[in-house]
Amino acid sequence: MGRSKDSPKVDRKRLPRHIGIIMDGNGRWAKLRGFSRARGHRAGSQAVRTVVKACRSIGVQNLTLFAFSAQNWGRPREEVQALMELLAEFIAKEWQEIMDRDIRVINLGELRRVPPDVRTRLKSMIVATRKNRSMTLALALSYGAREEIVRAARNLGRRMRAGKLSPKDLDVNVFSNALYTSDLPDPDLIIRTGGEMRISNFLLWQSAYAELYFSTKLFPDFSRQDLLLAIADYQRRRRRFGLTDEQIRKKDRRGK
């Protein structure tokens, strides 16, 4: 279906190396239908399947899904519980397919707060998929970007106190390597569904030069076609990284 001839044109040679998705709008999707929020999250987990499969088949190398923020722990207990159960279910159901599709799963976030059964399953999946190479799927779970930055600063401080790192050697690279995302490239494209135009504590450091794309679709309605639209939009943008157009053009010519 998604491959119909009216699909947006995407240049497979210029794909974003890393896409981050802020999967928002499950609650509103449910409310519109008179369903419980938990049912909205269930519908959202179907859309997770869709975007993972789509990214893998298009050839996107790295996908980060913002599944649960550090701040989302403050939601009603039943909702948090429903989300944790869905996560456990997702891991069990998708395990085989993730292995078959050669996807490596990693986690960004503070797993200590995650219920032990879910944490154990997730850790097993991370270990089982660690040698997979076709795509990396990073689950941002119990994740907050400010919390991540503070954690990195604390770890670097410890290394300094132990005499293993000199303050003068601390640079952007060393700092980046202290984050959860140390083995991922920075996101080229960040998509937020659900119509809100904010970052909500997602990949603050890493998104310094990310292209932002906001979709009004509620996450359960977000399709392969919507993903292609976002990538096509990204490919029409001109990224300058602080340089002039002329400098970028020269660089592009040299690159060819």
72 a catalytic residue:
yes
**Structure token pair of residue 78:** 């039943």
Of residues 24, 26, 107, 188, which has the active-site annotation? Answer: 24
Could you tell which of ligand IPE, Mg ion, none binds residue 72, using a CB distance below 5 to 8 A set by kind? Answer: ligand IPE
Considering the complex, state which of residue 38 and residue 170 has its C-beta at the smaller distance from ligand IPE: 38
With contact defined as beta carbons under 8 Å apart, do 205 and 32 qualify? no
Give CA torsion, residues 150, 70, 137, 234, to 10 deg: -80
Phi, psi of 203 (to 5 degrees): 40, 50
Could you tell which of ligand IPE, Mg ion, none binds residue 222, using a CB distance below 5 to 8 A set by kind? Answer: none
Of residues 6, 11, 26, 72, which has the active-site annotation? Answer: 72
**The binder of Mg ion chosen from 18, 24, 29, 179 (CB under 5 A):** 24
Considering the complex, state which of residue 39 and residue 151 has its C-beta at the smaller distance from ligand IPE: 39
Query: Where do the H-state alpha helices sit in the chain?
Result: 26-32, 37-58, 77-100, 116-128, 145-161, 172-177, 224-235, 245-255
Could you tell which of ligand IPE, Mg ion, none binds residue 215, using a CB distance below 5 to 8 A set by kind? Answer: none
Considering the complex, state which of residue 67 and residue 156 has its C-beta at the smaller distance from ligand IPE: 67
Side chain identity, residue 244: T
CA separation for the pair 15, 2 (Å, rounded):
18
Residue nearest to Mg ion (CB): 24
Phi, psi of 105 (to 5 degrees): -105, 130
24 a catalytic residue:
yes
Could you tell which of ligand IPE, Mg ion, none binds residue 113, using a CB distance below 5 to 8 A set by kind? Answer: none
**The binder of ligand IPE chosen from 62, 69, 206, 207 (CB under 6 A):** 69
The conformation of residue 102, written as its DSSP 8-state character, comes to T
Q: Does 118 bind ligand IPE (CB under 6 A)?
A: no
Side chain identity, residue 218: L
With contact defined as beta carbons under 8 Å apart, do 62 and 136 qualify? yes
Stretch that binds ligand IPE, among 53-61, 64-72, 98-106, 225-233 (CB under 6 A): 64-72
**The binder of ligand IPE chosen from 200, 223, 225, 235 (CB under 6 A):** 200
With contact defined as beta carbons under 8 Å apart, do 143 and 176 qualify? no
**Smallest gap, in angstroms, from Cβ of residue 171 to ligand IPE?**
30
Binding site for ligand IPE (CB under 6 A): 22-28, 41, 44, 66-69, 72, 83, 194, 196, 198, 200
